[in-house]
Amino acid sequence: MSTADAATEPSFPHCGWRLAAFEVFWIFLIFFLFAGTLPPDVGESHYLVKAKHYCQPSWCAGDLFLESRDAHAAFYWTFGWVTKIASLSATAWIGRAVTWLLLAWSWQRLSWAIVPKPLLSLLTAGLMLLLMRHFHLAGEWVVGGVEAKGFAYVLVFLSLEAIARDRWRTALILAGAAGAFHVLVGGWTVLAIGFAWLVSGKADRDW
């Protein structure tokens, strides 16, 4: 980034680590109350058995579904090893805890990057869930059972935070990584970032 770019880059205040940890914990609790049903949740019955078979090919060998193409290999490779040391139900809870914690952390960072006010990230997290459950985004899945989308959206939130801080290259890298976990989530994010970059006038800068 040039000196001129650095001079015009927006400055965002950061909360201390204690406040950040407090907010992340309560956002995590909100996510748990929203999606903490008994496993398997929607998607888990597919993702977890595929992940187990990916790491242990002898498990249910010959099954038509399990032997099909691995569309989410990054997820299976990253998380499938847990199925070796835990039951599928325990794996679901472990995965949910990890995913919700990462989602809470990334959402807290995104919320602070846009509206840097203490505790407001709890309100925005609740609003996100409300809008997804009942309004225009109804049907889209972000917080729920453990699957590739959860990890992808962690990277999407971090990508959006990077845009709010005028770090477009970092945003594209993070969105590309999201695509490795879920091609639709990451792919559409990359396209949206590209469109935003063009209409915001960033395309006139030296890339």
Q: Is the separation of the CB atoms in 66 and 53 below 8 Å?
A: yes
Q: CA nearest 129: which of 120, 140, 119?
A: 140
Burial of 160 (0-12, 13-18, 19+ CB in 10 A): buried
Give ∠ CA 41-44-160 in degrees, rounded to 5: 90
Q: CA nearest 169: which of 8, 1, 6?
A: 1
State the alpha helices, DSSP H only, in 43-147: 44-55, 73-79, 88-114, 120-134
In the predicted structure, residue 5 carries a pLDDT above the cut 90: no
Q: CA nearest 31: which of 105, 83, 88?
A: 105
Q: What is the Cα–Cα distance from 104 to 27, expressed in whole angstroms?
A: 5
Q: What is the Cα–Cα distance from 60 to 207, expressed in whole angstroms?
A: 50
Q: Model's pTM, two decimal places?
A: 0.88
Using one digit for the tens of pLDDT, what is the confidence trace for 26-81?
Answer: 999 999 999 999 998 878 988 999 999 999 999 999 889 999 988 889 999 999 99
Q: CA nearest 74: which of 129, 20, 148?
A: 148
Using one digit for the tens of pLDDT, what is the confidence trace for 90-131?
Answer: 999 999 999 999 999 999 999 999 999 999 999 999 999 998
The rounded percent of the chain whose pLDDT value lies above 90 is 70
- So what's the pLDDT on residue 200? 82
Q: What are phi and psi of 5, to 5 degrees?
A: -65, -45
Q: Tell me how far the alpha carbon of residue 207 is from its chain's centroid.
A: 27
